[in-house]
Amino acid sequence: MQTPGLIGGLLGIEEITNKPTKEPGFFDGRHLRLADARSGIWLLVELLSPKNVWMPSFVCKVMIEAVEKAGVPVCHFDLNYDMKLNSLDWIDQVQPNDLVIIVDYMGYPSETDCVNQLREKKAWILDDASQAWPSNVQANIADFTLYSPRKLLGLPDGAVLCFQSNGTLMSDVNLKPPPTDWIMKSLAVVQRRRDFDRWNGTDPWQELFKEVNDTFPLGPYQMSEFSHAMMTHGINFENIAHRRNENYLVLNELLQDIALFPNSGPKMVPLGFPIRVSDRQNLQDHLLNHNISTGVNWNLEGYISDVHEESHRLSKDIMTLPCDQRYSKDDMVYIAETINNHIKQ
Ligand SMILES: Cc1ncc(COP(=O)(O)O)c(C=O)c1O
């Protein structure tokens, strides 16, 4: 049976269990709890003072803004239409103490071909696992790992910056709480979405979500006590991982031909299921007419140079399907069939 209402879009807040939970590793090792991932990038750049920060040619705008706020230039290395490194030639230009950010897209472990050469260059490596579950990442190859659990758990805020090396950097950091007005609005958004999902609640969340999204804190802001308490006492992580994992398997089987990362492994805990299609807008409209909301991560227009042609081509064709904990295997079959019927037309 298909879930009534809308499939996909913003996550609502999880059912509160109020039982101590074994979280899957977001808080392992030396770490700082932050309001959001962009603040983690900003903070790390402030702490390391690199000459340059390197990141892929396929990133969201806020990652660049975080580095620029710290006053450091951003260089991009080229990713192709498959979201893979085109070459390692760019490493020639990396200098000692530069920070290189690799990304675990949608929770799919990042490529690590560049790591040995970066080590020889004495560059720092940040694994941006903002979209990943801890079991999916290669924290052992990076100096720092950045998580953004709110993206997978429907929390109002919350990111974690882990220090696998250079932990002394943490000692001088002074963080302040996120702005109260912002955190309350962010909490209202995830609560409204949950009411909508569960009881057909009619409070609109979309406009408030836009306001919250446009005003994310960027600076020395810590994770709210509320989100931290939820992660240690409120959330059934096992169930979330299991549902995402099972849903991923269904989509991967039914949408092999258009999956961006087919066969990524049976124990995958994805943020979403990225596909590539021509005439994306048409398909998105069709899906929305069938109550399926999809996302585009990301539209690179205006902030990534046209030199990165293949990244731009990918940006025009990519879209993300929902496969989160709210939905069942039947919902995934419904999504896949709706897509396949449209493509065959
Ligand atoms: C890979 C990656 N890093 C960092 C960020 C910034 O995350 P936040 O919104 O928590 O600041 C995002 C946001 O989408 C992201 O996708």
Boundaries of domain holding 260: 237-344
Predicted pLDDT of residue 246: 96
Name residues contacting ligand 1 (CB within 6 A): 36-38, 60, 62-63, 103, 128, 130-131, 148, 159, 216
For residue 59, report the distance from its CA to the centre of ligand 1, in Å. Answer: 9
Q: Is 262 inside a domain boundary?
A: yes
Q: Examine residue 280 and state whether it is found in any structural domain, yes or no.
A: yes
Coil, strand or helix: which one is 25? Answer: coil
Q: Is residue 169 part of a domain?
A: no
Question: How many A from CA of 102 to the centre of ligand 1?
Answer: 13
Distance 106 CA to ligand 1 centre (A): 11
Residue 56 near residue 102, CB atoms below 8 Å = yes
CA distance linking residue 109 with residue 104, whole number of Å: 5
- HSE, CB side, 13 Å, CA atoms: give it for residue 69: 17
- Written as one letter, the residue type at 104 is D
Give the span between the Cα atoms of 144 and 125, in whole angstroms.
7
Q: What are phi and psi of 165, to 5 degrees?
A: -135, 165
Specify the ligand 1 atom closest to the Cα of 150.
10
Q: Which atom of ligand 1 is nearest to the CA of 40?
A: 11
Residue 29 inside a domain? The answer is no
Please list the pLDDT of the chain residue by residue as tens digits (345 residues): 455 589 999 999 998 888 888 899 999 999 999 999 999 999 999 999 999 999 999 999 999 999 999 999 999 999 999 999 989 999 999 999 999 999 999 999 888 899 999 999 999 999 999 999 999 888 789 999 999 999 999 999 999 999 999 999 999 899 999 999 999 999 999 999 999 999 888 888 999 999 999 999 999 999 999 999 999 998 999 999 999 999 999 999 999 999 999 877 778 899 999 999 999 999 999 999 999 999 999 999 999 999 999 999 999 999 999 999 999 999 999 999 999 999 987
> Among the atoms of ligand 1, which is closest to the Cα of residue 104?
1
> Can you give the pTM of this predicted structure?
0.97
Buried b (16+ CB within 10 A) or exposed e, 134-154: bebbbbebbbbbbbbbbbbbb
The pLDDT score that the predictor gives to residue 344 is 80
Tell which atom from ligand 1 comes closest to the C-alpha of 157. Answer: 10
Q: Give me ligand 1 centre to Cα 94, in Å.
A: 24
9 in any annotated domain: no
Q: Which residue do the tokens 């446009």 mark? A: 214
Say if 82 falls within a structural domain.
no
| pLDDT given at position 17 | 86
| Nearest atom (ligand 1) to Cα of 36 | 10
Instruction: List helix spans (H) across the chain.
Output: 37-48, 61-69, 115-120, 150-153, 180-199, 206-214, 225-233, 237-254, 280-289, 309-317, 329-344
Count Cβ atoms below 10 Å from residue 266 Cβ, excluding itself: 9
Beta strands 159-163; 144-147: pairing state: antiparallel
Ligand 1 pocket test, pick from 131, 214, 215, 227 with the greatest ligand atom count within 8 Å of Cβ, gives 131
Tokens of 202: 């009619």
Count of residues in the chain: 345
CA distance 102 to 110: 7
22 within domain boundaries: no
Taking Cα atoms as reference points, which of 265, 248, 213 lies closest to residue 332? 248
**Atom in ligand 1 nearest the alpha carbon of residue 63:** 4
How many folded domains does the chain comprise?
Answer: 1
3-state secondary structure of 155: coil
245 in any annotated domain: yes
For helices 61-69 and 37-48, the axis angle rounded to 10 degrees is 40
Residue 173 — φ and ψ, nearest 5°?
-85, 130
Ligand 1 center from residue 220 Cα (angstroms): 16
In a 13 Å sphere around the CA of 144, the CA atoms on its Cβ side amount to: 27
- Return the residue whose CA atom lies nearest to atom 15 of ligand 1: 130
With CA atoms as reference, report the closest residue to 62 among 3, 113, 12, 131. 131
User: Which residues share a beta bridge with 176?
Assistant: 221
In this structure, the residue with its CA closest to atom 2 of ligand 1 is 130
User: Which stretches within 54-145 are classed as H helix?
Assistant: 61-69, 115-120
Task: Give the separation between CA 208 and CA 188, rounded to whole angstroms.
Answer: 8
Rounded Cα–Cα distance for residues 75 and 94 (Å)? 10
* Alpha-carbon gap, residue 89 to 97, rounded angstroms: 18
- What spacing in Å lies between the alpha carbon of 208 and ligand 1's midpoint? 19
The domain that holds 299 is classified in CATH as 3.90.1150.10
Q: Which two tokens stand for residue 135?
A: 């079991």
